[in-house]
Amino acid sequence: MKIGIMVSEGPYNHQASDTAYLFARTAIEKGHKVPRVFFYHDGVNNSTKLTEPPQDDRHVVNRWSKLAEDHGVDLVVCVAAGMRRGIKDEILAPGFRISGLGQLVEAGIQCDRLVTFGD
């Protein structure tokens, strides 16, 4: 099964990002495909390499980057939501790219399921 994911909450102010990451990783481990994760609204804050959590805390941004590297997951940041929050190409973590809502629509069409995390 092909599963698209949308994340609309930031990495440290809501459970949505952690849950989405764990869902994606588990789906891949179970043999499903996760071709794209689309970050929307405050979810775009999952993409910045400027994030520096304490050493004893999880690094949510690095988790997403590693998932993209290991499994070819396309991590797409909404351009409009990103611009409103100061997210530009030069501060994106590895594996992330900026694009438009068309990428979310495409994931909804091409995937068997589109699962959303956050409000």
Query: Any idea which residues carry the catalytic annotation?
Result: 78
Strand order in the sheet with 3-7: 96-99, 74-78, 36-39, 3-7, 113-117
In contact, 91 and 85? CB cutoff 8 Å: no
Checking phi first, is residue 49 left (phi over 0); if not, alpha (psi -120 to 50) or beta?
Answer: alpha
Q: Are 98 and 83 in contact (CB under 8 A)?
A: no
